[in-house]
Structure 1
Amino acid sequence: MSTRNYVTQEQLLNTSYGMIALTSVFAIARVATRVLRPKKLATEDYLVFLSFVLFIAMSTMYIVVTPAIFRISAVTSGALPPYATMLVDALFIIKIFFANTMIFWFLLWTVKFSLLALYKRLMVGVDNKIYIKIWWGVLVFCILSLIGCVVSNFTSCHSMHAWFSPGECTLPRDVRAQIASLYYAFAVDVLSDLMIMFLPIRLIWNLQMPRAQKISVGALFCTGFVCILFAIIRVVQIGMKAGNSSTPSSSWLALWAVVEGAIAVIIGCCPAFAALYRTARKTQKASYDARGYAKHPSSNSGIPASPSINLKSMVSTTTRPKKNSPYWDLEEGADSSQEELAKLNGGIFVTKTIKQEESNERRM
């Protein structure tokens, strides 16, 4: 790694602190959605929380190693004379960046796996098996590409001894390997993001809902373009600064890893907020009593209204009702009804009162 710096120590630290604060807000908000809507945590919830933990670990280690990075840089530029613990700092930087590179890829891929876990739940009950096969194909590609990223990190130096020996991982072969690792990881990262975003589009389009709502749901799942944008910015900035004859800058790598990692965690938290927004809208439209029945105003004559009967639960259909929104309805829980009364615009509601009387007579 190069000791050249394109940001100051204060800029790198402030960016790291800011991204930690921002992702913490989104992570806490996602936890709040589970508190407000108590339900069993799903696989995607655990994966998103794991990605947040990985991000905190990565950012913290970058914050800890930042002073050493700039001390070494000051020595190489002549601004600071060599000091006794210089080799210790150099080895410490190498170990941190080796570990953080691995953490960074696991962070990004954990968010991808969380979205795939969500899509798997959306496909429950889908008759078309092609969706399931495509889902498995995307999952296998993501796993193999992650393994490739790990392998490329290990092979960025001509030997593991050179990896952890300051100044020995600078051969032309090592420079080419590190640049190749950067672009390979970028390529599979963007390609897997595109595959994950396009995976549910046809499924969403076949849902029975207004076109505007289909577009809004599709836009939610296409927020991965933000991750792609930052991945492009990251690799372009690092690649342009490094060129083809030098290894990437340590401080520059740290800065863009923190930024892209934060964006990935935020994107992973977004689907839960959409479900919470849907719940808030439904709460405003209807009010229900403790038993789940719709509340009706009492009559003006002073006579208490008879208990209403939940006709929704008595409706039977010969065909399976279609969901208006896959993720939002799944978030409502397995016990919630997927059937909704049709909304009549200026129409007439016909109601029927059903009474059950008990007879004291018994047959002999």
Structure 2
Amino acid sequence: MVLTENYITARQVTAIGYTMIAITSFFCLIRFFLRFWKAGKFQIEDAFVLLSWVFFLVLAIDYIVVTPVMYRVTAFEAGRIPPYPTVEKDALFMVKIFFANTMLLWAALWSVKLSFLFLYRRLLEGLPNQLRWWWGIFIFTIVTFVSCVISNFTSCSSMHAWFTVGLCSTHRDTVAQIASLYYSFAVDVISDIMIMLLPVKLIWSLRLPITQKVSVGAIFCVGVGCIVIAIVRVIQIGMRANNDSTPSSSWLAFWGMIESGIAVIIGCLPAFAIIYRKSRNSRRGYGRGYRAMPSSYLHQREIPLPNTSISAGKSRLMASRNSTAASPVAKSGAIAVTQSVQVARDANFL
């Protein structure tokens, strides 16, 4: 299960771990600060983003803790250091960490997918045809996550072999581990593409200029970043393993922290864009609603009208709404002036 080849130093592994923890924590804190400051309501997609950050945090801390042990064990296997009393215990500790972190990586990635799905669900409410597609993609996402977990369990011939040092190293086990790597990559990318395409029809149907449609669509295409980093990760790990050996432990840790950390950051980005647009629209609405008209313009455009008493009583308003009588018809030769008022409500998303 352990490959003796390390392509980066222990310091580089821990450095990327601390760096990704700091960056993802910053993005999450800013996201939730803006959420409660501007929107004030915690949504289900926020819960999944928070969950993805927790999964990533545990994964990164595990890798940071296991890194010194990992390099000590690989140095022993390469013959660079003599045997030491706790070598078997250290190797088993490594196996347990990598077994758990493989599933933590998928849990972080799939939590971000679910955050996007539940964000889109609120957009698609009232559109039955689109909601059918949503349910299909949701079920596909859950099924693929479960299948990835199963592939991790079956990467060794048995659970006893998994947690016994030296037993999970047959040709069958190596092939199963490589297959699990490529299978999880494939369903990861396919589900990302499906989720990104989900709101396309809705965005295209909006009555907006094409440039605004593109800008709105760009908000929901940030998942491209997840796809790109997933491709880079699987190429780097697969090429190093040459498809016939177990992937390097340090290389798995390095790219696992990068991919899961970037996924958490990408999960935060749509909220930044939506909160910004909502804040900008609110400022515009405030400016339009309370802009004062110059007094000179008012005096120049004055039209004398007879004194009219205006009643704003609730009873009269309700009576006029419930009345079914026809409007008075203007007398012959007179001009009848009617006034209609159209009230539009701008429903800000989120």
Q: Report the TM-score range of the alignment, normalised by the length of the smaller protein.
A: 0.7 to 0.9
In 1, Cα distance between equivalents of 2:181 and 2:16: 22
Matched, 1:295 2:290: yes
Q: CA deviation at 1:32?
A: 1.4
In 1, Cα distance between equivalents of 2:69 and 2:210: 55
Q: CA deviation at 1:277?
A: 1.5
What are the equivalent positions in structure 2 for 1:192-203 lying under 5 Å apart? Answer: 192-203=191-202
Query: Secondary structure of 1:7's match?
Result: coil
The equivalent residue for 1:349 is none
| Conserved 8 A contact 1:208-1:322 | no
The equivalent residue for 2:151 is 152
The equivalent residue for 1:170 is 169
Query: Secondary structure of 1:37's match?
Result: helix
Matched, 1:49 2:58: no
The equivalent residue for 2:209 is 210
Matched, 1:17 2:36: no
In 1, Cα distance between equivalents of 2:242 and 2:293: 77
Q: CA deviation at 1:124?
A: 1.5
Q: CA deviation at 1:243?
A: 1.5
The equivalent residue for 2:242 is 243
The equivalent residue for 1:101 is 102
Query: Secondary structure of 2:81's match?
Result: coil
| Conserved 8 A contact 1:207-1:322 | no
In 2, Cα distance between equivalents of 1:92 and 1:173: 23
In 2, Cα distance between equivalents of 1:255 and 1:280: 38
Query: Secondary structure of 1:158's match?
Result: coil
Q: 1:297 to 1:322 in 2, by over 3 A?
A: closer
In 2, Cα distance between equivalents of 1:260 and 1:30: 20
In 2, Cα distance between equivalents of 1:240 and 1:90: 25
What are the equivalent positions in structure 2 for 1:324-343 lying under 5 Å apart? Answer: 329-331=348-350
The equivalent residue for 1:81 is 82
In 2, Cα distance between equivalents of 1:45 and 1:156: 33
The equivalent residue for 2:129 is 130
| Conserved 8 A contact 1:116-1:135 | yes
Matched, 1:161 2:180: no
Q: CA deviation at 1:74?
A: 1.1
Consecutive unaligned residues in structure 1, runs of 5 or more: 302-308, 324-328, 332-364
Amino acid aligned to 1:117:
F
The equivalent residue for 1:266 is 265
Q: Identity of aligned pairs, percent?
A: 51
Q: CA deviation at 1:220?
A: 1.4
Q: CA deviation at 1:287?
A: 3.2
Query: Secondary structure of 2:290's match?
Result: coil
Deviates more, 1:73-82 or 1:197-206: 73-82
In 2, Cα distance between equivalents of 1:196 and 1:283: 29
| Conserved 8 A contact 2:196-2:220 | yes
Consecutive unaligned residues in structure 2, runs of 5 or more: 297-311, 313-340
**Structure 1 length as normaliser, TM-score?**
0.80
Matched, 1:8 2:20: no
The equivalent residue for 2:332 is none
| Conserved 8 A contact 2:38-2:279 | no
In 1, Cα distance between equivalents of 2:228 and 2:293: 57
Amino acid aligned to 1:238:
I
Greater share of helix residues, 1 or 2?
2
Q: CA deviation at 1:153?
A: 0.2
Q: CA deviation at 1:37?
A: 1.3
| Conserved 8 A contact 1:119-1:200 | yes
Amino acid aligned to 1:152:
S
Q: CA deviation at 1:6?
A: 0.8
Deviates more, 1:231-240 or 1:277-286: 277-286
In 1, Cα distance between equivalents of 2:258 and 2:235: 14
**Structure 2 length as normaliser, TM-score?**
0.83
Amino acid aligned to 1:330:
F
In 2, Cα distance between equivalents of 1:187 and 1:242: 18
The equivalent residue for 2:33 is 32
Number of positions where the alignment pairs a residue of Structure 1 with one of Structure 2: 307
- For residues 191-217 of structure 1, give each alpha carbon's deviation from its aligned partner in whole angstroms, at most 9, with x where no partner exists: 000000111111111011111111011
